[in-house]
Chain A
Amino acid sequence: MTVEPRDNLDRAIDEVLASAVAGEPRRVSATSVREAIEKRRGPRIPLWLSVAAVLVVGFAVALMNRAPIGEAPASVARSAETVGPSEAPSAHSPKPIQVENRVAGRAARPRDPGTTADLPYEGLSRLTLASIELPEPLSTLRLEPDVIQIPLIEIAPLFVSGLSIEQEHDQSRSLPK
């Protein structure tokens, strides 16, 4: 192998280094970068606006769900009147079932409705179901049998529209009176 002079070696090193990191990008341009930015750009709505929108929608949904609960006591009272027990509960009848609306998870245990005014939950909507008294023992004896009368059903004379008037008369005459 031939011995290279020092300056030739330095020149060769410089040339190789220069060629190793020379050139321009072929694919990258202002247009390609702009297109890539546009393509990757997410929703144009700012983050705070999307968070606010989600909160508003969530609040609205919560309000919509809360509205029927506020009306619940009146409707429950009505239903209690209609389905209330017709006789005094027996000694074996189970305790009245009481369900309270657990608004925001505050009602941890059933409470006497009469004491609600004393509690810090005053003003919150409350769902109270009326007590259900079950007849003891369960039977169908309270149904009294009776004679079933079916009223007379009158059937209008049948006729076919395609028949002539004479035929219709004949038909009506032939019907039993």
Chain B
Amino acid sequence: MEILPTSPPLDPSINCVTDEELVHRARDGDPTAFDEIVERHKGAVFRAALAALRNREDAEDVTQETFIAAFRKLDTFRGESQLRTWLSRIAWNRSMDQRRKGRFRTFLHLDAPDAMELPSPGADPERATLAASVHARVKREIDRLPEHLRDTLLLASAGDLDYASIADTLGVREGTVKSRVSDARAMLRATLEDASR
């Protein structure tokens, strides 16, 4: 499993401040407040972009652009949705723009070798190989899903947004999100079971 750097521990005094208060402080020109917003939500924003672009480098670029845009548009944030949802929507829209323009780098297909997990040293080699084979198949089938189902499923799998927030980010109704996730899972399961027989 790839080890990724984690965010440094935050100052407890600012860690307890709500997003709403941070936005107010950032609007008043407090640079540490916006820094805290970045550190608090960069992971969620990155994963939303990753769900759309499926390429880490592109997702990093979009994450950076999202926070720059958020800083400029902070006055337009009305607080009608959560700050994380608002940021994720910016990231999603920017990712969609990038995807439409075709500026993104080569898709990192989910079945690419560098995206696969290596078996742990202590595991049974036969079982590890079998698991890797299953994972490769699952990745391939996710890649073949219709775009709208795959996007919704990956965004939901990131775990940062609830269904209502995903609906807000995608600009669809919450029920649509639920049905898309359900349909995508059912389609995956059926395809993989067919392939296993």
- Interface size for A (C-beta < 8 A) is 34
B2, A33: Cβ atoms closer than 8 Å: no
Please report which residues of chain B, range 1-48, place their CB below 8 angstroms from some CB of chain A when the two chains form the complex. Answer: 2, 4-7, 31, 34-36, 38-39, 42-43, 46-47
Query: Given that A2-B130, A9-B192, A29-B42 are known contacts, is A21 also in contact with B197, CB under 8 Å in the complex?
Result: no
Q: In the complex, how many angstroms separate the beta carbon of A94 from the nearest chain B beta carbon? A: 67
Interface pairs (16), CB distance under 8 Å: A1-B196, A9-B134, A9-B193, A12-B131, A12-B134, A13-B188, A13-B192, A20-B54, A20-B157, A23-B2, A24-B6, A29-B42, A33-B68, A34-B31, A36-B64, A37-B68
Q: How far is the CA of A16 from the CA of B142 in the complex (A)?
A: 9
Selected contact of A23 from candidates B4, B134, B138, CB within 8 Å: B4
Q: In the complex, how many angstroms separate the beta carbon of A48 from the nearest chain B beta carbon? A: 16
Question: Which residues of B pack against A, CB within 8 Å?
Answer: 2, 4-7, 31, 34-36, 38-39, 42-43, 46-47, 50-51, 54, 56, 59-60, 63-64, 67-68, 71, 110, 115, 117, 130-131, 134-135, 138-139, 142, 153-155, 157-159, 185, 188-189, 192-193, 195-197
A19, B4: Cβ atoms closer than 8 Å: no
A20, B134: Cβ atoms closer than 8 Å: no
- Bitwise, A9-34 to B at CB < 8 A (1) or not (0) is 11011111111111111111111111
In the complex, which residue of chain B has the Cβ closest to the Cβ of A9? B192
Question: Which residues of A pack against B, CB within 8 Å?
Answer: 1-4, 6, 8-10, 12-34, 36-37, 40
B64, A28: Cβ atoms closer than 8 Å: yes
A32, B188: Cβ atoms closer than 8 Å: no
A10, B67: Cβ atoms closer than 8 Å: no
Q: In the complex, how many angstroms separate the beta carbon of B101 from the nearest chain A beta carbon? A: 20
Residues on the A chain within 8 Å of B159, using CB = 18
Q: In the complex, how many angstroms separate the beta carbon of B179 from the nearest chain A beta carbon? A: 17
A33, B67: Cβ atoms closer than 8 Å: yes
Closest 6 A/B residue pairs (Cβ): A30-B35, A17-B157, A25-B46, A21-B158, A30-B38, A16-B138
Residues on the B chain within 8 Å of A24, using CB = 4-7, 42-43, 46
Q: In the complex, how many angstroms separate the beta carbon of B16 from the nearest chain A beta carbon? A: 18
Residues on the B chain within 8 Å of A15, using CB = 135
Selected contact of A13 from candidates B43, B189, B196, CB within 8 Å: B189
Residues on the B chain within 8 Å of A1, using CB = 195-196
Q: How far is the CA of A19 from the CA of B59 in the complex (A)?
A: 15
Selected contact of A30 from candidates B34, B50, B155, B188, CB within 8 Å: B34
Q: How far is the CA of A36 from the CA of B130 in the complex (A)?
A: 46
In the complex, which residue of chain B has the Cβ closest to the Cβ of A16? B138
A9, B189: Cβ atoms closer than 8 Å: yes
Residue with the highest number of chain B CB atoms closer than 10 Å, among A18, A19, A25:
A25
In the complex, which residue of chain B has the Cβ closest to the Cβ of A10? B189
Residues on the A chain within 8 Å of B192, using CB = 4, 9, 13
Q: How far is the CA of A120 from the CA of B155 in the complex (A)?
A: 73
Q: How far is the CA of A13 from the CA of B185 in the complex (A)?
A: 8
B46, A23: Cβ atoms closer than 8 Å: yes
In the complex, which residue of chain A has the Cβ closest to the Cβ of B131? A12
In the complex, which residue of chain B has the Cβ closest to the Cβ of A23? B4
In the complex, which residue of chain B has the Cβ closest to the Cβ of A30? B35
Extra inter-chain contacts (5) besides given A1-B195, A16-B135, A20-B54, CB under 8 Å: A4-B193, A23-B46, A24-B4, A30-B34, A30-B36
In the complex, which residue of chain B has the Cβ closest to the Cβ of A21? B158
Residues on the A chain within 8 Å of B39, using CB = 29-30
